[in-house]
Amino acid sequence: MCIFILSFYTYYLMQIIDFPYDNFNFNSDSIFKGLPENDLALLNKNMVTHNYKKGEILFRDGSYPTGIYYIKKGKVKKYKTDKDGREQIFYVCRKGELLGYHALISEEKFTDTASTIEESTISFIPKDDFLSAIQLSPILSNRLLKVMSHEFSVLTNSLAVFAQKTVRERLALSLLLLRDKYKKENQEKKPTELDLSRDDLSKFVGTARETLVRLLHDFKEEGLIETNGRKIILKKPLELSKIANLY
């Protein structure tokens, strides 16, 4: 029994991959880390925190920003909607990430929509407080500049990579990207469970729901994943990485 447990543990360790997540992540969770107390006081001055149910809208494409959003718990999808009402999810935000600061800083309308994909706790920082903090904090302004520059590279890389992939490759890549969003702290060595609807996953991959379901069935038959209701358990991230064909 001990030999079996050790073998399984060793096998799973082999499945933990050095995946280039930074090439696909905005990294906005680094903006507030370790800020001086005076800078944080400016941001917290009029901060308001709300609990959101799944599916609630934070902001809509075409609306004007009145502040920024900081995710304390939960996840938020960012997406575009075409003229026929079809969604394309291009990013999933997790705990610690910021939303809405691009449009606020550029003084333009939002160019996408953000809504929760699970119960979430999110703080709202008013526009004036955030802009004041940027003006008074060289550290904050410098971090924002770096993150926004990185995000441009992420979007460019993501568009190029996804455009060149088959649906099967895009699904494998999407599962790995979502793995980084759903993995729990201090449990990196355990299989990751993705709790995401098939509709949202298909919009993230960029394919029809029927095609997604068929490919998930194939992945399950190949032993790459397991399913428990709508949950997807990633068993072999290394094999998924090979299918994603990033190297």
Is the distance from CB of 89 to CB of 203 less than 8 angstroms?
Answer: yes
Q: What is the pLDDT of residue 134?
A: 94
Q: What is the pLDDT of residue 187?
A: 58
CA–CA distance, 244 with 215 (Å, rounded to integer): 13
CA–CA distance, 117 with 79 (Å, rounded to integer): 12
Handedness of CA 134, 140, 141, 145 (dihedral sign): negative
Q: What is the pLDDT of residue 159?
A: 85
CA–CA distance, 108 with 103 (Å, rounded to integer): 5
Geometric angle at alpha carbon 121, from 116 and 123, rounded to 5°: 105
Q: What is the pLDDT of residue 189?
A: 67
Q: Backbone phi, then psi, for 231, in 5-degree steps? A: -75, 140
Domains belonging to the chain, first-starting first, are 2-21+165-244 (1.10.10.10), 31-161 (2.60.120.10)
The pair of three-digit structure tokens given for residue 159, joined into one six-digit string: 């568009």
DSSP state of 73: E
- In sequence order, the 6+-apart residues with CB closer than 8 A to the CB of 111 are 61, 80, 102, 103
Q: What is the pLDDT of residue 8?
A: 43
Handedness of CA 32, 76, 236, 167 (dihedral sign): negative
> Please, which residues bridge with residue 77 across strands?
92, 115
Q: What is the pLDDT of residue 6?
A: 39
The pair of three-digit structure tokens given for residue 174, joined into one six-digit string: 């999407």
CA–CA distance, 214 with 234 (Å, rounded to integer): 17
Q: What is the pLDDT of residue 48?
A: 97
CA–CA distances in Å: residue 128 to residues 44, 132, 139: 12, 6, 18
Which residues of the chain, if any, have pLDDT below 70?
1-18, 186-189, 247
Q: What is the pLDDT of residue 72?
A: 96
Specify the 3-state DSSP secondary structure of 228.
strand
Closest CA to 200 of 90, 53, 61, 85: 90
Reported as a single tens digit per residue, the pLDDT across 80-134 is: 999 888 999 999 999 999 999 999 999 999 999 999 999 999 999 999 999 999 9
Q: What is the pLDDT of residue 155?
A: 87
Handedness of CA 213, 218, 221, 223 (dihedral sign): negative
Reported as a single tens digit per residue, the pLDDT across 13-23 is: 444 456 777 88
